[in-house]
């Protein structure tokens, strides 16, 4: 197995800290908010209000579980449309009260069920991107594990996009890539290398701005190491972003993503 596939395997480990664990370790006074005001509360998506260094923030995360029972209730971190509509509701609330938005991403992709499609999965993801792109408050997106497909892209339109050392981000899984390209899912390790899914690959290509280190013994064995680093980095970056004029913030966010559509002839 190649290095990329090894990182992919680590990003998918059930023992990796979940979004709620990051939120509870890094922020103070977290108060969870529920529901999308349209259909129901999606347990695969969590979010609410909190504070960090006495700065009020909105925190949102895709939530996986550590047990079979919890993973089933949260659909293994694959949100339904109502999950993404919850994100939209919380982002718009954050804009109203001028709270920075911090998003934690850990998903193999949006839930592909029949009901999700009937309730507008694609539209919910698209609107999530649309709202995030124009949000008049700072947005920081952090990949804490797996970042797969449109389910991850929906929450990655921030002013800053960061990734943990053993995180990954791709438009589809290496298994799916190998199945489509070679009709052979057993070549997923080879696909992972070609897809450039690791934090090192992504920072070289300008897709992310920062890599958050993990402990040598594994983040599941010493999560406080990464929690503390990430908290310090968030405090610094939030203070930088919230002091920028809104017009400058939006202009720089637009330029950040517009550059991916510019190609040399």
Number of domains in the chain: 1
56 pairs with which residues across the strands? 51
For 120, residues 6+ apart whose C-beta sits below 8 A from its C-beta are 81
Is 112 a member of any domain? yes
Domain range for 167 is 3-255
Q: Which residues of the chain have pLDDT under 70?
A: 1, 261-265
pLDDT tens for 171-194 read 999 999 999 999 998 999 999 999
Is 124 a member of any domain? yes
Work out the angle at residue 148's Cα, subtended by the Cα atoms of residues 146 and 150, and round it to the nearest 5 degrees. Answer: 145
Residue 28 DSSP SS3:
strand
C-alpha–C-alpha distance, residues 45 and 161, integer Å: 19
Is 265 a member of any domain? no
Is 197 a member of any domain? yes
C-alpha–C-alpha distance, residues 44 and 71, integer Å: 9
**Cα of 256 vs its chain's centroid, Å:** 17
Is 264 a member of any domain? no
- Residue 50 is part of a domain; what is its CATH number? 3.90.226.10
Is 136 a member of any domain? yes
Is 262 a member of any domain? no
pLDDT tens for 217-253 read 999 999 999 999 999 999 999 999 999 999 999 999 9
For 92, residues 6+ apart whose C-beta sits below 8 A from its C-beta are 131, 135
Look at residue 178 in the predicted model and tell me its pLDDT. Answer: 94
Is 179 a member of any domain? yes
C-alpha–C-alpha distance, residues 158 and 175, integer Å: 28
Considering the entire predicted model, what is its pTM? 0.95
């Amino acid at each position: 197995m190649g290095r990329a596939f090894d990182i992919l395997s680590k990003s998918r480990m059930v023992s990796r800290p979940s979004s709620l664990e990051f939120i509870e370790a890094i922020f103070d006074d977290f108060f969870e908010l529920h529901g999308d005001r349209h259909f129901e509360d999606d347990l695969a998506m969590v979010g609410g209000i909190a504070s960090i260094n006495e700065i009020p923030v909105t925190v949102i995360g895709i939530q996986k579980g550590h047990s079979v029972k919890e993973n089933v209730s949260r659909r293994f971190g694959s949100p339904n449309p109502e999950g993404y509509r919850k994100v939209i509701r919380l982002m718009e609330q954050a804009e109203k009260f001028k709270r920075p938005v911090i998003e934690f991403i850990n998903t193999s992709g949006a839930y592909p069920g029949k009901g999700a499609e009937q309730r507008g999965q694609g539209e919910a993801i698209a609107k999530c991107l649309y709202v995030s792109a124009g949000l008049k408050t700072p947005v920081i997106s952090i990949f804490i594990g797996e970042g797969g497909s449109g389910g991850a892209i929906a929450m990655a339109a921030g002013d800053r996009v960061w990734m943990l050392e053993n995180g990954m981000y791709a438009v589809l899984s290496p298994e799916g890539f190998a199945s489509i390209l070679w009709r052979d899912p057993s070549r997923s390790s080879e696909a992972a290398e070609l897809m450039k899914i690791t934090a090192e690959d992504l920072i070289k290509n300008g897709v992310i701005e920062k890599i958050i280190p993990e402990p040598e013994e594994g983040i599941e064995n010493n999560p406080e190491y990464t929690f503390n680093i990430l908290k310090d980095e968030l405090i610094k970056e939030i203070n930088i972003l919230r002091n920028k004029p809104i017009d400058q913030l939006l202009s720089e966010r637009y330029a950040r993503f517009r550059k991916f559509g510019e190609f040399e002839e």
